Amino acid sequence: MTTVLFIIGAYFAGSIPWGYLLCRIIKKIDIRQHGSGNIGATNVYRIAGGPVASAVLVLDVLKGFLPVYIAKSLSMTSPQVILTGIASVAGHSFSIFLKGKGGKGVSTGFGVVMALFPRPALISLLVWAAVIASTHYVSAGAVAASIALPVFVYLFQRDLFLTCMGIFLCALIIYTHRTNIIRLMTKKENRTRLPWEGK
């Protein structure tokens, strides 16, 4: 029963819509009514600027990382830890506070994989950064990193169960980016100006 309550708590933690909340508090806007309408750090960066987006990014990563890290610290079983991570990402993507809507799960998913398997997570992060730097498409970076993740989980962990977790996260990221993928294929996706580039 305690484990079930912990996993439910992870879902609620993941459901906290930091992008929506910080834009409401700091910029007095509903981020869902601007840009792509997404509450994630990328849309917040485009609309509200770097400092707010950085705060959203860190908080979204933490709400994936902390529940899994705590679950591991409590010596919960591997399936229980993984279910905790899934609950956190599900909360972010399907937030109870936003009537089942939410972000695309990239930042929170990264927090989960950092807690579960840091080396594959960091390599996927490098893939994400390299794709964005070369294409200026954040969505392309997210999809590429999600595809790379289960490959490197298997190579480093040699654990079928953990690899399946990587595959699940990959499938979720691709699902939440399905409209972005269509726009990429039709060359209608918005490019993102990188912070060090001029206006």
- pLDDT over 80 (residue 198): no
- pLDDT over 60 (residue 199): no
- pLDDT over 70 (residue 140): yes
Give the pair of three-digit tokens for residue 90: 């599900």
- pLDDT over 80 (residue 46): yes
CB atoms within 10 A of CB 36: 18
In the chain, where the domains are located: 2-185
**Spatial separation of the C-alpha atoms in residues 30 and 21, rounded to whole Å:** 9
Instruction: Count Cβ atoms within 10 A of the Cβ of residue 85 and give its class: 0-12 exposed, 13-18 middle, 19 or more buried.
Output: buried
Higher pLDDT, 78 or 144: 144
Q: 141: pLDDT confidence band, cut at 50, 70 and 90?
A: very high
pTM: 0.88
Give the pair of three-digit tokens for residue 41: 């750090």
Q: Per-residue pLDDT tens for 92-131?
A: 999 999 999 998 889 999 999 999 889 999 999 999 999 9
pLDDT at position 64, please? Answer: 95
